[in-house]
Amino acid sequence: MNYVYCIINKNIKQSFGYIGVEDKEVYTIPHKDVSLVVHDSDKEAKLNVEDHLICHQYVISFLTKKFNTVIPFGMNTFIKKEKAEPFLEKNYETFKKKLESLKDKSEFIVQIFYDPEPKKSELKGSVKDYILKQKKLRKDVLEELTKFRKKFYNQIKEIVDDIKIKEDEDDEKPLLSMSCLVHKNKVKELQKSLRNISSRQGFRVHFSGPWTIYSFV
């Protein structure tokens, strides 16, 4: 049984040493001009994600730095040894197209938050007046934020290659949360655009990456 890490855009028969999950030897299974990166596993026994995720991710990050573009597989992906090469043959064209589409690109996470500050004048008056003002204010703010959300999305979409909207379950829910596929030549332009957004009153931006491209494979 083979435990699978990723596919690299190169035909190479090589061992990368004992860097894998549970200190397994990580090596390639080449086919045409791509290679499957695996380690040998005695059986298809699911690994504890909490214990082994960092190691799994380390291998993929190591190979990304070495070969530039990879197609990553999630944890606990197994394939029978005798089926590895047929698997590569069957899906070769799909893998090649995907590798080309991901070349020189990385995944970044963009979250845009809005922190409204109530005005003192809106807190004056009777309880009834206060409630009515709050309802109107909430409606006006929601309408305005919907416009901003669409504007920011389109602004970022012009720069990046692809976007996946994320539904965050955090207590602090962002106005807009996205995974963005970005070419290396466009990262600075994206950062500049995000700085412009965060300079607006009430808005702040959380930007992280580059990450392994899981959202676009």
User: In the prediction, which pLDDT does 83 show?
Assistant: 94
Residue 5's pLDDT is 96
Amino acid 65 reads K
Give 115's pLDDT tier (boundaries 50, 70, 90): confident
Tokens representing residue 25 in the block: 């030897």
Closest CA to 89 of 33, 37, 31: 31
Apex 51 CA angle, 210 and 27, nearest 5: 65
Mean pLDDT of the chain: 87
- Which pLDDT score, from 0 to 100, does residue 128 have? 56
Res. 49 pLDDT band, cuts 50 70 90 = confident
Residue 195's contacts (CB-CB under 8 Å, 6 or more residues apart) are 205
Measured torsion, CA atoms of residues 106, 14, 92, 43, in degrees rounded to the nearest 10? -100
> What is the rounded average pLDDT of the residues 155-175?
84
Please answer whether residues 107 and 180 qualify as being in contact, where contact means their C-beta atoms are separated by less than 8 angstroms: yes
CATH number corresponding to 105-211: 3.30.70.260
The residue among 32 and 171 whose pLDDT is bigger is: 32
Q: How confident is the model at residue 116 (pLDDT cuts 50, 70, 90)?
A: low
As a whole-number percent, the residues of the chain with pLDDT over 70 amount to 85
Note the pLDDT tens digit of each residue in 51-94: 788 899 999 999 999 998 999 999 889 999 999 999 999 999 99
Checking if the pLDDT of 7 tops 60, the result is: yes
Which of 110-124, 132-146, 192-206 shows the highest mean pLDDT?
192-206
pTM: 0.78
Which residue carries 């090596």 as its tokens?
Answer: 27
Q: Could you tell me the maximum CA-CA distance found in the chain, to the nearest angstrom?
A: 78
Is residue 121 over pLDDT 60?
no
pLDDT band at residue 11 using 50, 70 and 90 as cut-offs = very high
Does pLDDT of 29 surpass 70?
Answer: yes
* Residue entry with tokens 């676009």: 216
